[in-house]
Chain A
Amino acid sequence: MSLMYRIQHPRDALVWEGEIPLFSRYTMGIAGERFFREIMENGRLMGTRCPECDLIYVPPRLYCEQCFAHLDEWVEVPSTGQVHTYTIVHADLDGNPLEEPRILAFIHIDGTDGGLVHYLGEVDPDQVCIGMCVEAVFKDKAERKGGILDIAYFRPVG
C-alpha cells in the first residue's frame, strides 16, 4: 500500500462539507443603547464628548480611546455631514449582481470627530462626490426598531 495513491476520477478527491451552526446576538452596549434609543425615540443623533481631548465621538463611546477617560457628557449633534468617501456596490455578499447598484458612504458628521457608514439615497451614482453635503433620512417613528437602519439613508442636502 503506497501512500501516494492515484486519484482515478475527480470525485475521488474527497471534500467534506460542513458548517458552523452559529449566529451572534450583539448588545448595543452602554453607550450604544442610548445612541440608538435617541434615534428611535427622538429621531436625533447624539455623541459623547471628551473634555480633556476636546473630541466628540459619533457613534458615541463610553470611554475616550486617546486618554481613556470615562465619557458621560452627551451632546446632540447634527444629522448632517459630508461624504468622506464612498463606493458603488454592484454585487451582493455571494457575488450575485444587484438589480440596482447601492451607494455606500462614510459620512463625517458635522461638528464632530466621528461619522457613520451608511447608504446614500435620492441621488444618482454618477452625481455622488467626495465632500458632498448630506443629511440623515430617518424612517417613520413607527417603523424604527432601535438600530442603524432606523436611518433609511443619507441624501444630498438642498
Chain B
Amino acid sequence: MKEHVYETVYLREKDFQEGRVLFETWDPNARYAWDAGIAIGRFLQELKAGRLVGTRCANCGRVMVPPRMFCEHCFVPIDEFVPLEDTGTVITFSLCYVTWDMVRIEEPQIPAVIGIDGASPGMGIMHLLGEVDPKAVKIGMRVAAVWKPPEEREGAITDILYFKPL
C-alpha cells in the first residue's frame, strides 16, 4: 500500500527560527463576551452569596448541577432552583504538571470532578482541590468548598478557591 501514501515535506522548528522556510503569522485577536444566561446567571449570583444551587426537573426529579433551564433527558423547561450543600465527593481527579501550552509546573494542580451533596448521584462540577497532599487524594474522598471572603467575591466559579478534604 506504500504507493497510496504521498510523501510530505517535514519541517523542524529550527527551520522557522533560522529562516529556511517562509511563513506568515496571524493573531486573530479573538476576544469574547459571553452572556451567562438565565440558569448560570443565577448560579453565579448565588456563588457571590456563598451558596451553591442546582435545578430540579419536575418530570424526572433529577437535581442537576450546573443548573440548567431545561432537562436534556425529558426536554421540558425547569423552573425550580434547589439549594445544595457546599460539600461533596471526589468522583475523579488528576495531578496536572503542565499548563495548557505545555510549560512545566512544579507543584501539581489537582483538577477534580466533585459530586455535590444535595444533587442527584453522579451530578458533579469541575473544580480544583487544595490544602491536600497530592499523594493523599483518593476517589471517594469527602471535600468542602473553601470560599473567598465575601468582599472579594465577584459572581464567578472562582468565588470558590478550591475544595479541601473534610
Contacts and interface: CB of A to CB of B under 8 A. Distances in A.
Nearest to B79: A3
Given A3-B80, A16-B36, A24 B26 contact: yes
Bin chain B's interface residue count.
35 or more
A3 B70 CA distance: 11
A97 to B, nearest CB: 19
Bin chain A's interface residue count.
20 to 34
B28 A33 contact: no
A15 B36 contact: yes
Secondary structure type dominating chain B contacts: mixed
B141 interface: no
Contact of A23 (B11, B21, B25): B25
Contacts of A14: 35-36, 40-41, 44-45, 155
Contacts of B21: 27-28, 33
Interface in B32-46: 32-36, 38-42, 44-45
Nearest to A34: B22
B42 A16 contact: no
Nearest to A93: B29
Nearest to A11: B155
Interface in B8-54: 9, 11, 16, 21-28, 30-36, 38-42, 44-45, 53
B81 interface: yes
A25 B23 contact: yes
Nearest to A7: B41
Interface string A1-29: 11111000000111111111011111110
Contacts of B36: 14-16
A26 B33 contact: no
Contact of B9 (A1, A4, A13, A30): A30
A16 B158 CA distance: 12
Contact of A20 (B28, B42, B79, B155): B28
20 contacts: A1-B53, A1-B83, A3-B38, A3-B78, A3-B80, A5-B45, A13-B35, A14-B35, A14-B40, A15-B34, A16-B34, A16-B156, A17-B31, A24-B25, A25-B23, A25-B24, A28-B22, A32-B22, A40-B22, A146-B22
Interface of B: 9, 11, 16, 21-28, 30-36, 38-42, 44-45, 53, 55, 69, 78-83, 155-156
Given A24-B25, A25-B25, 11 more contacts: A3-B38, A3-B42, A3-B69, A5-B45, A13-B35, A14-B40, A15-B34, A16-B156, A32-B22, A33-B22, A147-B24
